[in-house]
Amino acid sequence: MIRIGGVAHSHRISFMRIKIAGTGRALPHTCRTTAEYEDALGLPCGQLSAAVGVAQRYVCEEESQIDLAVAAAEAALRDAGLAASDIDLVLAGCAVPYQPIPATAPLVMSRLGIADGMAQAFDVNSTCLSFLTAFGTAARMITCGEVQRALVFSSEVASRALPWQQDPEVAALFGDGAAAAVVTGSAEAGGTLKATLMRSYPSLYDACALAAGGTRFDFARDPERFARHALFQMEGKPLFRLAAQKFGGFVTDLLDRAGWTRDEVSLVVPHQASPAALAHMIRQTGFDPSIVMDITRDYGNQIAASIPFVLDMARREGRIHAGDKLLFLGTSAGVSFGGMALEY
């Protein structure tokens, strides 16, 4: 039984037999240090670095979001030992799309050389949690037999539309990057998606936003208002309070759904929101810091790409083994908490 809001509910868990057959990641060529931004903004040396904890990040100057996505996808396919033509689902999980219409996934499908009509391609967006949402969607489609092999990717050019003049401590958190995973069915003992969970708190909908670019503000009618909302804005204090109140309980409920204890978790693969946010998450959840992946100092917050980027890094560094219990965790604008428990 699961107790929600004081009421007991029965909950039958349906495990999904899936396998991560391959992963890959990609970065732009250009790396910018926080010291470079301090110099450009006329800030004292070390002030911004100390405030945000991010020493450097990679930024797109020549590459496009699609270039990064294709490079990451090709690396994942090589790792899986598959050709692009073996894929029958291309699923994009990006916080910010290449353009509002059409979706990003069909263009990546085309750039990979997958012929017209040979796969389905669409986007899933839950901002920073988009990879987890897309991964869960792919797992369900594989489980129900709709597709056999899915390519799930997140590609972010997070260095655009940042408030460097208005709020440099927010702007300095972000970096660009992409990562992808090839997901297939699995008849083996391992490769089981034990649980997924998301909870949303839309009372803080505007606390973290890039408001222009959709239908909310009309550039033709009011270009000045459109321009005012064309930069990313974030109110950290209310977001921190919400996480402090709710995130620990959220993780407990996710573990309960998976049938795991905290001590059984082999590795935590979190969204790389910021060094401070990760430190706070570790204190809240009680995990040993040694099992929590943290790359924010060198890569910054890559929005939706951060979770699959860390996943690929952990696999290639030998930190993940057959039978390991992996816990994926994150928060997103909106606001939502999301997680996934995967037995590798």
Per-residue pLDDT of the chain (344 residues), as tens digits, is 444 444 434 344 457 889 999 999 999 999 999 999 999 999 999 999 999 999 999 999 999 999 999 999 999 999 999 999 999 999 999 999 999 999 999 999 999 999 999 999 999 999 999 999 999 999 999 999 999 999 999 999 999 999 999 999 999 999 999 999 999 998 665 689 999 999 999 999 998 899 999 999 999 999 999 999 989 998 888 888 998 899 999 999 999 999 999 999 999 999 999 999 999 999 989 999 999 999 999 999 999 999 999 999 999 999 999 999 999 999 999 899 999 999 99
How many residues are present in the chain?
344
**Active-site residue, 128 included:** yes
Q: How far, in Å, CA of 274 to CA of 27, rounded?
A: 19
Residue 42 φ/ψ, nearest 5 degrees: 75, 30
Q: Which residue out of 94, 128, 208, 321 is catalytically annotated?
A: 128
305-340 burial string, b = 16+ CB within 10 Å, else e?
A: bbbbbbbbbbbeeebbeeebbbbbbbbbbbbbbbbb
Q: What Cα–Cα distance (Å) separates residue 33 from each residue in 28, 38, 46, 121, 238? A: 14, 9, 11, 36, 29
Pairing state between β 89-92 and 56-59 = unpaired
Q: What Cα–Cα distance (Å) separates residue 336 from each residue in 16, 125, 276? A: 23, 12, 19
**3-class DSSP state of 319:** coil
Measured N-to-C along each axis, helices 130-143 and 306-316 cross at an angle, to the nearest 10 degrees, of: 70
Give every CB contact of residue 172 below 8 A, 6+ residues apart in sequence: 34, 37, 48, 51, 52, 54, 300
**Active-site residue, 229 included:** no
DSSP assignment letter at 284: H
**Active-site residue, 125 included:** no
Give every CB contact of residue 213 below 8 A, 6+ residues apart in sequence: 100, 230
Structural domains present in the chain:
16-185 (3.40.47.10), 191-343 (3.40.47.10)
Q: Which residue out of 60, 94, 125, 301 is catalytically annotated?
A: 301
Q: For residue 245, which of 216, 210, 189, 204 has the smallest C-alpha distance? A: 204
Can you read off the two tokens belonging to residue 287? 């995990």
Q: 């911004």: which residue's tokens?
A: 48
Q: How far, in Å, CA of 38 to CA of 52, rounded?
A: 12
